[in-house]
Amino acid sequence: MGARERIEGAVSFLRVPRWLTLPSPSPRPSPQGEGIRGVALDQTNAPLLFQRGKRCSLSLGERARVRGNDAQNNAPAQNPAWTPDHDAPSKAFTTLGHFWPRIAQMAVVVLMLVFAIASFAEQRFPPPEFESGYALPETKTPPPRTLPFQYVDVAVLLGALVLASYLVLKKRSRNGVLALSIFSVVYFGFYRKGCVCAIGSIQNIALGLFDSSYAVPWVVTAFFIAPLAFALFAGRSFCAAVCPHGALQDLMLWKPVKVPAWLEQGLGVLPFAYLGAAVLLAATGSAFIICEYDPFVPLFRMNGSHAMLLAGVAFLLAAMFVGRPYCRFLCPYGALLRLASCVSKWRVTVTPDSCNRCRLCEEACPFGAIEEPTTAPTHWLALIGDRKRLAWLLALVPALMLAGGWFGSQLSIAASQLNPTVALAERFSLQAKTPVELGVQTAESLALMRAAQDPKALISQALEIRRNFRLGGWLFGGWLGLAVGAKLISLAVRRSRHDYEPNRASCFACARCFSSCPNERVRLGLMRRELPGSPAPQPAPAAAHTPN
Amino acid sequence: MDVKPPNPPPVSRRQFLRDGSRAAALTGLGGLLGVLGTRSTSATTVWQIDPSKCLRCDRCATHCVLEQSAVKCVHAHAICGYCQLCTGYFVPEPSELNTGAENQLCPTAAIKRTFVEDPYYEYVIDEQLCIGCAKCVEGCNRFGNGSLFLQIRHDRCVNCNECSIAQVCPGDAFRRVAVQHPYLLKTTSH
Ligand code: SF4
Ligand code: SF4
Ligand code: SF4
Ligand code: SF4
Ligand code: SF4
């Protein structure tokens, strides 16, 4: 930071000359602010500065004198430029009426300055006219790397989705899925550096819906819509082998341990909470938390903050023993895909043949997605019990939503701190109440200086955002209550299932279980039909099947 | 030949609900597409710094997701004064006007100073060395023509969905610009 101290001498210029010190927040950085400084400098030194040719060759002494003059001017103006007016802005947070006289005053001064600047030369040092035939170097503008990729990315995405669906539903090939996973990790991950992905696109869409000034790039829209549309027909083929995040975790899987059902179900609410929070923060224009806390993108980039790199490594280590931890317990896009997959037209089947109930597939699934056969109660007494429980739970949902909403609204003020504008307004009004000397030219003090230029606008903006957060807090909490309620209901409803089959929502369509099924192996000709001790399977067809 | 499930249900109630929800979801996605269609841009966007809003803190150097920040100093030569005493190049009180490291403002000596003709000197940024700390930008904007300014260099930037410098920029200087016009170059001083 030695250099920073060096620059501090120069920063003494920053102090506005006394004759310019306004009673209200003194502006620095806006164009007008620049003007104030420019004029202050130019007026004291105009004759020197504008002697053509000689202007830059001021002797060091002259420069020092220029600086000295200014320093003298400024010495008494101890009040650093950013220090906001001590009472008005804090009041402005509650009453915004105090400002008009000051603003009018400022406006007059600014207007005068604008005229003053216009009458001076536009540049302090007009560009020279060279006599030696010197050609100006051109300012290079290397084109963005994304430019040629925008169509390629979407084409590859669609192609990979079609291929993944085909490999899972029709070809039923684990090796194919594996190969496609490797491709996706390499292309979407390491080559395209994981940005933009379907998971993050949720935020762009949310921001696009709530902020009409934000235009969603069509590539992002395609990344959001395509996997969901595919999930409505083919289940989570996106997760199977297209999503680089999922594929990376899947490839790391080594010795999966079984997660207890209660934990799995309990943690299963997290993605919905994360989804809600991400949408809330994106819609209010506060932050893109999915991107900020994405554990895998830093790995794809081999670059990033140490904390996130560590988180990525930790997730990968966990993924060796717990199948796809991010997908199951965090991924907000996975939450959407779950919902879509519940109503998909076709579904993943362990085998197109009938089930032997040998439970081999259950062992094969590293994600605990295969459910055992159950019979729904048929006796009326049991049915009544079930119905009653369901009725209670249905009645509980609105209560949960209300409670969640209240809870969310309580949190909303704290959450609004995540919005940079609100955070700045808070700091600004705090600074106004209890001024703290921040030293010269930290990013903080610069931000406060910017705030000081137009505190009224900043604060009303912050209040507006906070109002949005209060509403958003209710909605977020309600959503959370709904997610919990729906989870409880889904646990309470007993469905009759004849076979072992993958749960529509939680199956990642990884195709691992297929070859564990003896009937499937027979069908593929990998095994003879008659198994000792197993009931004879039905005659196996060669290839044709219809998963449904 | 297909193998039928043991007792093939007719269109069950559940199946009906499923079809209905799928249709509803598809309609929803279509509607979303419609709404976004009116709002979306045909182009991808990339991040860029608005030089008129940049306050020259040093967060561009430190907050990029890349270890070597994608933000570099750019020189608009057309508005440069070619000053002998460049306030973007020299520390405030240089002992001598030469290229000695102790006289240079830039911590990485990324600015190359060459004599053009009396009394003009050319200043060129070596982007390999520049770390985007904005020290020279501050010097040039405060006392000079403001021909030095920061820009995201798109040969380096990975175009994060959310630029992590944008989150912490005190000047709120980052914005998304169309990929066809990815730079906000200065053409006039200040
Ligand atoms: S659950 Fe999320 S992270 Fe996992 S594969 Fe699916 S979209 Fe990707
Ligand atoms: S295809 Fe689905 S059910 Fe089968 S092993 Fe993979 S995740 Fe489990
Ligand atoms: S973070 Fe913002 S204010 Fe700071 S140097 Fe970068 S663009 Fe300028
Ligand atoms: S002073 Fe900082 S911004 Fe300027 S050229 Fe050197 S490293 Fe780059
Ligand atoms: S978009 Fe990402 S890579 Fe580019 S400047 Fe911002 S943080 Fe750095």
Three-class DSSP labels, A260-275: CHHHHHHHCCHHHHHH
On whether residue A546 sits in a domain, the answer given is no
Question: Residue of the nearest CA to atom 2 in ligand 3?
Answer: B169
DSSP of A144-195, one letter per residue? Answer: PTTTTHHHHHHHHHHHHHHHHHIIIIII--HHHHHHHHHHHIIIIIIITTT-
| Cβ-Cβ contacts under 8 Å for B10 (sequence gap 6 or more) | none
The DSSP code for A538 is P
- Based on the domain organization, do A153 and A222 belong to the same domain? yes
- Based on the domain organization, do A387 and A302 belong to the same domain? no
Query: Ligand 5 centroid vs B160 CA: distance in angstroms?
Result: 6
- Based on the domain organization, do A368 and A448 belong to the same domain? no
Overall average pLDDT of the A38-56 stretch: 32
CA angle B154/B46/B172 to nearest 5° reads 105
On whether residue A108 sits in a domain, the answer given is no
On whether residue A118 sits in a domain, the answer given is no
Question: What CA–CA distance (Å, rounded) separates B179 from B177?
Answer: 6
Q: Nearest Cβ partner of B33 from A124, A225, A352?
A: A225
Question: What CA–CA distance (Å, rounded) separates A461 from A137?
Answer: 43
Domain that holds residue A424: 380-435+443-492
- Based on the domain organization, do A391 and A487 belong to the same domain? yes
- Based on the domain organization, do A451 and A478 belong to the same domain? yes
Question: What CA–CA distance (Å, rounded) separates A245 from A250?
Answer: 9
Q: Nearest Cβ partner of B170 from A339, A340, A446?
A: A446
How far is Cα of residue A353 from the mean position of the Cα atoms in its chain? Answer: 43
Measured in angstroms, the CA of A195 and the nearest CA of chain B are apart by: 6
Question: Residue of the nearest CA to atom 4 in ligand 2?
Answer: A513
User: Does any ligand 3 atom lie closer than 6 A to the CB of residue B60?
Assistant: yes
On whether residue A532 sits in a domain, the answer given is no
Question: Tokens in use for B126?
Answer: 């070596």
Question: What CA–CA distance (Å, rounded) separates A201 from A291?
Answer: 9
Please tell me if residue B145 touches chain A, with a CB cutoff of 8 Å. yes
Q: Which amino acid is at B19?
A: D
CB contact under 8 A, B167 and A287: yes
- Based on the domain organization, do A206 and A292 belong to the same domain? yes
Please tell me if residue B102 touches chain A, with a CB cutoff of 8 Å. no
Q: Are B65 and A301 in contact (CB under 8 A)?
A: yes
Measured in angstroms, the CA of B129 and the nearest CA of chain A are apart by: 16
User: Does any ligand 2 atom lie closer than 6 A to the CB of residue A369?
Assistant: yes
ipTM of the complex: 0.86
Q: Are B74 and B48 in contact (CB under 8 A)?
A: no
- Based on the domain organization, do A365 and A248 belong to the same domain? yes
Of A17, A46, A72, which marks where a domain is finished? A72
Question: Residue of the nearest CA to atom 7 in ligand 3?
Answer: B54
Residue A22: pLDDT above 80?
A: no
What pLDDT, on a 0 to 100 scale, did the predictor assign at position A47?
30
Overall average pLDDT of the A231-235 stretch: 96
What pLDDT, on a 0 to 100 scale, did the predictor assign at position A546?
44
Residue A178: how many other CB atoms lie within 10 Å:
18
User: In chain B, what is the straight-line distance between the N-terminal and C-terminal CA atoms, in Å?
Assistant: 77
Q: Is the sign of the CA dihedral B132, B133, B136, B142 positive or negative?
A: positive
User: Does any ligand 2 atom lie closer than 6 A to the CB of residue A348?
Assistant: yes
- Report the greatest alpha carbon distance in chain A: 106
Q: Which residue has the tokens 């005493």?
A: B85
Nearest to A41 by CA among A108, A127, A116, A107: A116
On whether residue A260 sits in a domain, the answer given is yes
On whether residue A421 sits in a domain, the answer given is yes
Predicted confidence pLDDT, tens digits, chain B (190 residues): 445 555 555 568 888 999 999 999 999 999 999 988 887 666 778 999 999 999 999 899 999 988 889 999 999 999 999 999 999 999 988 888 888 888 899 999 999 999 998 889 999 999 999 999 999 999 999 888 999 999 999 999 988 899 999 999 999 999 999 888 899 998 876 5
Question: What CA–CA distance (Å, rounded) separates A122 from A125?
Answer: 9
- Residues 386-415 on A with a CB inside 8 Å of B are none
- Based on the domain organization, do A178 and A309 belong to the same domain? yes
What is the atom index within ligand 3 of the atom nearest the CA of B174?
Answer: 7
On whether residue A3 sits in a domain, the answer given is yes
Query: Ligand 4 centroid vs A82 CA: distance in angstroms?
Result: 25
Q: Which amino acid is at A111?
A: L
Please tell me if residue A127 touches chain B, with a CB cutoff of 8 Å. yes
Give rounded-to-5 percent helix, strand, coil for chain A: 60, 0, 35
Q: Which residues of B touch A123 (CB under 8 A)?
A: 79, 81, 145, 188-189
On whether residue A530 sits in a domain, the answer given is no
Q: Could you say which ligand is closest to the alpha carbon of residue B106?
A: 4
Question: What CA–CA distance (Å, rounded) separates A488 from A502?
Answer: 20
Q: Which residues of B touch A57 (CB under 8 A)?
A: 84-85, 119
What pLDDT, on a 0 to 100 scale, did the predictor assign at position B40?
65
User: Does any ligand 1 atom lie closer than 6 A to the CB of residue A185?
Assistant: no
Residue A13: pLDDT above 90?
A: no
Task: Compute the half-sphere exposure of residue A2: CA atoms within 13 Å on the CB side of its CA.
Answer: 9
Please tell me if residue B18 touches chain A, with a CB cutoff of 8 Å. yes
Percent of chain A with pLDDT over 90: 52
More confident position, A194 or A487: A487
Measured in angstroms, the CA of B151 and the nearest CA of chain A are apart by: 10
| Region of residue A400 (left: phi > 0; alpha: psi -120 to 50; beta: else) | alpha
What is the rounded radius of gyration, in angstroms, for the C-alpha atoms of chain B?
27
Question: Tokens in use for A82?
Answer: 């950013």
What pLDDT, on a 0 to 100 scale, did the predictor assign at position B95?
85
Nearest to B106 by CA among B78, B82, B138: B138
- Based on the domain organization, do A152 and A229 belong to the same domain? yes
CB contact under 8 A, B117 and A130: yes
- Based on the domain organization, do A341 and A386 belong to the same domain? no
Test mutation, A146, A213, A306, A431, chain B, max B CBs within 10 A: A146
Residues with CB under 6 A from ligand 4: B 73, 105-106, 108, 110-111, 125, 130-137
What pLDDT, on a 0 to 100 scale, did the predictor assign at position A37?
30
Overall average pLDDT of the A373-398 stretch: 86
* Alpha-carbon torsion angle A88, A89, A93, A96, nearest 10: 50
What pLDDT, on a 0 to 100 scale, did the predictor assign at position B190?
59
More confident position, A325 or A71: A325
How far is Cα of residue A547 from the mean position of the Cα atoms in its chain? Answer: 36
How far is Cα of residue A107 from the mean position of the Cα atoms in its chain? Answer: 40
Residue A389: how many other CB atoms lie within 10 Å:
15
Q: Nearest Cβ partner of A538 from B3, B33, B80?
A: B3
Q: Which residue has the tokens 């007008």?
A: A32
State the total domains in chain A: 3
Nearest to A441 by CA among B170, B97, B116: B170
What pLDDT, on a 0 to 100 scale, did the predictor assign at position B37?
82
Residue A548: pLDDT above 50?
A: no
Question: Tokens in use for A236?
Answer: 């989570």
Overall average pLDDT of the A340-346 stretch: 95
Instruction: Write down how long chain A is.
Output: 548
Nearest to A509 by CA among A327, A315, A267: A327
Beta strands in A297-394 (DSSP E): 370-371
Q: Which residues of B touch A446 (CB under 8 A)?
A: 55-57, 170-171
Question: What CA–CA distance (Å, rounded) separates A350 from A348?
Answer: 7
Burial A195-219 (b: 16+ CB within 10 A, else e): bbbbbbbbbbbbbbbbeeebbbbbb
Q: Are A82 and A448 in contact (CB under 8 A)?
A: yes
- Based on the domain organization, do A368 and A389 belong to the same domain? no
Of A72, A94, A124, which marks where a domain is finished? A72
- Based on the domain organization, do A467 and A509 belong to the same domain? no
CB contact under 8 A, B157 and A215: no
Alpha helix (H) residue ranges in A191-236: 198-210, 218-234
Nearest chain B residue to A1, by CA: B107
For residue range A170-221, list pLDDT tens digits in order: 999 999 999 999 999 999 999 988 887 999 999 999 999 998 888 888 889 9
pTM: predicted TM-score of the whole model, two decimal places: 0.80
Nearest chain A residue to B59, by CA: A443
